[in-house]
Amino acid sequence: MQVSILIENTVGRPLDLLGEHGLSLWVRTPEHQFLYDTGQSGALVHNAVVLGVSLREAEAVVLSHGHYDHTGGLRAALKAIGRAVPVLAHPDLFSDHRVSEPDRFVGIPFSRTELEACGAEFQWTAEPLEIFQGVWASGTVPKTNAFERGDARMYVLEEDRRVPDPLRDDLSLYLDTPGGLVILTGCAHAGVVNITEHARAVTGRERIRAIIGGTHLAPVEADHLEKTIAYLKGLDLELLAACHCTGLPVAARLAAEFGRRFSFGSTGLTFTF
């Protein structure tokens, strides 16, 4: 299997690539290829051309959650795919996601009708689902530990009252490879430890080879960060490509902790398993 980073906050290769706050991954299995997230602006279409990725051959688009920095490129991606294509997401994708600093709407910036007019054939799953052979979509990730409490700045409105955003739509991918699982996360709003334990429970595989994607460790408290690092060290990962909402200070710490097994996971990188 291969995972290429089409969009990330930074550009890591000396190529004509665009970086933006967001994430988009291109996944190739022995038989299938598909898009996981679409970045913020549609710049993934340009980057795909530069990297030799043919979006026309996407057999599906999987969305990690409704946040604009993962779904804002969806309309452009659908146009580049150029035909009807399954778009798999959690049923809460269109949830009215908001954030308080600065106060704004951060959900998906398109209507369902508009996206369907561009070829999106929505398929919903709140349960784990094997979408291709060896590729599992998480569905809702159970929050099983006490320290991954989510981002207090994120909220939804319930009858004009602000309540914490449960972000149930946070959907990760679990790739079953011969040497163990490769976990792909969008922002890991459900918590990277919760997600990893869920991956094991869903697939029945114990060994985790790699974690690639956002970890949302940038805003967490010290205790949360230390517990997460201790857990990740216990996994004996081949690769930790913690990028996007990991934030540079935490990514730098992880680089120091994990040495050559760490990657900043920037735009243009490809990992082969």
Which residues of the shown chain bind Fe ion in the complex (CB under 5 A)?
A: 67, 69, 187, 245
Q: In angstroms, what is the minimal distance from the CB of 271 to Fe ion?
A: 19
Which token pair is 261?
């097994």
Complex with Fe ion: residue 8 or 69, whichever CB lies closer: 69
**Length of the chain (residues):** 273
Q: In angstroms, what is the minimal distance from the CB of 135 to Fe ion?
A: 21
Q: In angstroms, what is the minimal distance from the CB of 15 to Fe ion?
A: 23
Determine how many CB atoms are found less than 10 A away from the CB of residue 194: 21
Complex with Fe ion: residue 67 or 168, whichever CB lies closer: 67
Q: Quick check: 118 and 75 in contact, CB under 8 A?
A: yes
Q: What CA–CA distance (Å, rounded) separates 106 from 69?
A: 8
Complex with Fe ion: residue 67 or 209, whichever CB lies closer: 67
Residue type, 47: N
Complex with Fe ion: residue 148 or 176, whichever CB lies closer: 148
Q: Tokens 């995972």: give the residue.
A: 3
Backbone angles phi and psi of 248, in degrees to 5: -65, -40
Q: Quick check: 58 and 34 in contact, CB under 8 A?
A: yes
> Considering Cα of 40, then 46, then 52, then 58, what sign does the dihedral take?
positive
Q: In angstroms, what is the minimal distance from the CB of 64 to Fe ion?
A: 8
- How large is the angle between the packed helices 43-51 and 74-81, nearest 10 degrees? 50
Complex with Fe ion: residue 33 or 40, whichever CB lies closer: 40
Complex with Fe ion: residue 27 or 245, whichever CB lies closer: 245
Q: In angstroms, what is the minimal distance from the CB of 189 to Fe ion?
A: 6
What are residue 4's DSSP bridge partners?
26, 270
Nearest position to Fe ion, beta carbon: 187
Q: In angstroms, what is the minimal distance from the CB of 12 to Fe ion?
A: 18
